[in-house]
Chain A
């Protein structure tokens, strides 16, 4: 669990802090602009604060706010939030063997605080779940360090953005720093030819399928890229050197 003091005894906790710290500025810029955008799109300051503190999922929040302002039916808003978050369902399938030794409420709490970048850093560092209790708790500590930085950077910037909503012009485009943070992490994952293929196919498919509702283009793009890479794995130019470990 992310807030337990025992994590801080592991050096992996501080490694997690350091790794996530490298993108904290981008996360904060993104959180700031999400805070600004929520108020500018029609939520009151109190509503925007509650949404930030409770929902903790930037892209789902940005998708939902205009729908709330337009008076969309509740189930449509929730379905949209679910679809925007579907990538987390994929992440949770991946993280399951790393977390199943924990009680259920701790698993759910850990999942709740694990955003995109925390997951990506974790998957990059630990291709396989720990085999012993000690290894598993080191992995937990690393994830906890990542999540702590992500949470603090996001929440503090988001609350600041809500407070300053009428002073920061969205026209400055500070939110682009969040995209650059994701781009940097994407570059760090491009460690094999097939992964570069995966990124190219997913990017092209996401643009081509943009017109799909509820941000489903993101899911379609992931499915296309993964399916194509699984096929290419079996073909001669890629067959060697791809079987080794990084997830």
Chain B
């Protein structure tokens, strides 16, 4: 339970360094520098693209394969969550409505 492999500890510490470098990549240098105009325009679309690239595969695939049945709790939960957001504009409500659909289908029916 409390074992600590030195090699694993080194890996963990260096992964922390990777977090600092990636999250602060463009903060490291103090030289004046600005993004080109097209890149600034592109940032309009990057955050939603990043979220969709993470979320959509988690909803519609299993280990990279598209779901082949409609009996999948994730599909109904995601639809309920988005519908709730369109209706109420609440992120918390999206989570609650989605899980209220997901848990009975997933645990109850095994979807």
A: residues with CB less than 8 A from B are: 22-23, 25-26, 29, 43-47, 50-51, 54-57, 59-61, 64, 68, 74, 77-78, 81-82, 85-97, 99-100, 104, 107-108, 110-112, 114, 116, 119-120, 123-124, 172-173, 176-177, 179-190, 194-195, 198-207, 210-211, 217-218, 221-222, 225-227, 229-230, 233, 246-247
- Considering only CB atoms, which chain B residue lies closest to A169 in the complex? B107
B11 touches A74 (CB 8 A): yes
A247 touches B20 (CB 8 A): no
Q: Mark B7-20, 1 if CB is under 8 A from A, else 0.
A: 11111111110111
A184 touches B56 (CB 8 A): no
A93 touches B35 (CB 8 A): yes
A-B contact pairs, 28 of them (CB 8 A): A44-B3, A47-B3, A60-B15, A60-B18, A87-B50, A94-B46, A110-B27, A112-B19, A112-B23, A119-B47, A173-B107, A176-B102, A176-B106, A177-B99, A183-B55, A183-B98, A186-B52, A195-B44, A198-B49, A199-B49, A202-B52, A207-B61, A218-B53, A226-B49, A227-B42, A230-B38, A230-B45, A247-B43
B42 touches A92 (CB 8 A): no
Q: A86-B22, A207-B61, A221-B49 are in contact. Are A45 and B1 (CB under 8 A)?
A: yes
A173 cross-chain contacts in B, Cβ below 8 A: 73, 102-103, 106-107
B44 touches A93 (CB 8 A): no
Q: Binding site of B, secondary structure by majority: helix, strand, loop or mixed?
A: helix
A50 touches B27 (CB 8 A): no
A77 touches B15 (CB 8 A): yes
Nearest 9 CB-CB pairings of A with B: A203-B56, A111-B24, A184-B94, A184-B91, A221-B53, A202-B49, A85-B22, A107-B27, A225-B49
B: residues with CB less than 8 A from A are: 1-5, 7-16, 18-28, 30, 33-35, 38-39, 41-61, 64, 66, 73-74, 77-78, 81-82, 85-86, 89-96, 98-99, 102-103, 106-107
Of B13, B16, B106, chain A has the most CB atoms within 10 Å of the CB of: B16
Q: A81-B18, A217-B53 are in contact. Are A93 and B39 (CB under 8 A)?
A: yes
| Residue from the list A177, A188, A190, A206 in contact with B53, Cβ < 8 A | A206
Nearest chain B CB to A108's CB is how many angstroms away? 4
Tell me, in angstroms, the Cα distance from A194 to B46 when the chains sit together: 11
| Residue from the list A94, A116, A201, A202 in contact with B43, Cβ < 8 A | A94
Nearest chain A CB to B57's CB is how many angstroms away? 5
| Residue from the list A47, A107, A124, A184 in contact with B12, Cβ < 8 A | A47
Of B54, B61, B78, B92, chain A has the most CB atoms within 10 Å of the CB of: B54
Beyond the given A185-B51, A200-B52, please list 4 additional residue pairs across the A-B interface where CB-CB is below 8 A. Answer: A88-B25, A89-B26, A190-B48, A205-B53
